[in-house]
Amino acid sequence: MSKYLVNKFLYTVDRDTELTERYREDPAGTVSWWEAEEANRILNCITAEKTTWLAFTDEERTALATHDHVTLFGLGAHPFLTLTLWIAMFERDFDEPLGMQLDYAAQLAHLGLPYPDIAT
Amino acid sequence: MAKLVAILATTHHPFFYRTSQLPPEEAPPFAAEWVRKVEAYRETLTRARPDVLVMVGSDHFHQLWLDNMPQFLIGKAPFYDGNWENEMREFGLPKLLFKGDEELSAYMLREGIDKGFDLAFSNELRVDHSITCPIFTVRPQNDLPIVPIYTNIFAPPLPRPERFVQLGRTIREIIDAWPSHLRVAVIGTGHLSLELGGPRQFGPHGPDPEFDARAVRWIADGDIDGCLSSVTLDSLHAPGNATHGFMDFMLMMGIAGHTKADYADNLDLFHTMEAYFAWYPEPDLLVGPPLASKGALL
């Protein structure tokens, strides 16, 4: 489990408009590049001071690479981060106000309490 | 000593700003009542004539991140920029600049640490919609210096509800003892029941109207004990996965004390219940005519 790293992916992609678009268009390629180049970068440190041990699990990598927000929820990714990035990527594909958000919720409707633990 | 002239506790719905800017023919059916309630609430601050605003909110993973996450943080800077790119993108919120009151920030940090809260601080803080939204609603001219206070209601492990109430009590003691001639108002924002990124999000009401009904009574009645006996870190998962933001309301109840609110209003809206509370610790400090209404909950 590397919930922290999944959250770091969602957080850093959401706050970079170019990366958000790249992830929308090429999810598998973006996840592969990000894990290789960015995953271990401490956010306010130079490259020489990279972390040496962070990596996705196979399940996390696949969920991110397939835009599978249902699995990400089940893995305990922070739901606010996932939602915010999904709105940025996919709200534009729906005609009705909140259409994307309601579709997002409907895909999670089979899940009851307690929700997966989001502590990192 | 400084005078604590008003305490305001409210929700921070990020869609209010954009909704309030729409021409009537484009506005949703609930917009007019929403604007009317917010404008009535604004009067509760205006009549207190504050000189400085202490603003309590919570960073939504904007500047505070999981590699270095404080539980409680006070800004100490001469200025604060406000709102982030993804808040412009998602909510249509504009960026803005606040003046800061560094003297009060320094005083609150020193006194807070000495009173048992090991507060984090920031000398360069861009505040997010938890602090900018109440400016848009109750002080849109944005003409007063602020002291921002951030709480962690977002990234577990969180402080427990009792700790939020204790911090509120401590903030009250600190402001009451601040050697200054200024009039201080505290404005804090949180949530009632709320779900974000889960199956219950964006329904026709908040995810747990029963919790919301109880919560607004706790706040309006100043029922800190009733609230604390009913709310735990674990229990707050049930009303909605983002309901831990209610602990910021509990912090504000700690500031107000075991006292009924002087103004209490709410609005049942899609996705969430909006709520607007104000207390006047020293009514004699107010001038002018009384409020036209005390709100729907009183």
Could you tell me what percent of chain B has a pLDDT over 70? 100
- Tens digit of each residue's pLDDT (9 = 90 or more) over B200-241: 999 999 999 999 999 999 999 999 999 999 999 999 999 999
Partners of B61 on chain A (C-beta within 8 Å) are 11, 78, 80-81
Q: Quick one: tokens of B159? A: 């402080």
Q: How many domains does chain B divide into? A: 1
CB contact at 8 A, B97 and B79: yes
Nearest to A120 among B66, B86, B202 (CB): B66
- On whether any CB of chain B is under 8 Å from the CB of A61, the answer is no
Structure-token match 């921070």, residue found:
B12
Q: What is the mean pLDDT of residues B136-161?
A: 98
- Tens digit of each residue's pLDDT (9 = 90 or more) over B45-80: 999 999 999 999 999 999 999 999 999 999 999 999
Any bridge partners for residue B97, and if so which?
B81
* B270 has pLDDT over 90: no
- pTM of the predicted model as reported, rounded to 2 decimal places: 0.98
Question: What does the mean pLDDT of chain A come to?
Answer: 97
SS3 (DSSP) at B242: coil
Partners of A108 on chain B (C-beta within 8 Å) are 198-199
**Annotated domain spans of chain A:** 3-107
CATH code for the domain in which residue B147 is found = 3.40.830.10
Residue A114 to chain B, least CA–CA distance (Å) = 8
What is the 3 state secondary structure string of chain A? CCHHHHHHHHHHHHCCHHHHHHHHHCHHHHHHHHHHHCCCCCCCCCHHHCCCCCCCCHHHHHHHHCCCHHHHHHCCCCHHHHHHHHHHHHHHHCCCCCHHHHHHHHHCCCCCCCCCCCCC
pLDDT for res A1: 63
In chain A, the residue whose alpha carbon lies closest to the alpha carbon of B158 is: A119
d(CA B98, CA B143): 8
The domain containing residue B263 runs over which residues?
3-285
B294, part of any domain: no
Q: Residue B62: which residues within 8 A CB-CB, separation 6 or more?
A: B84, B126, B128
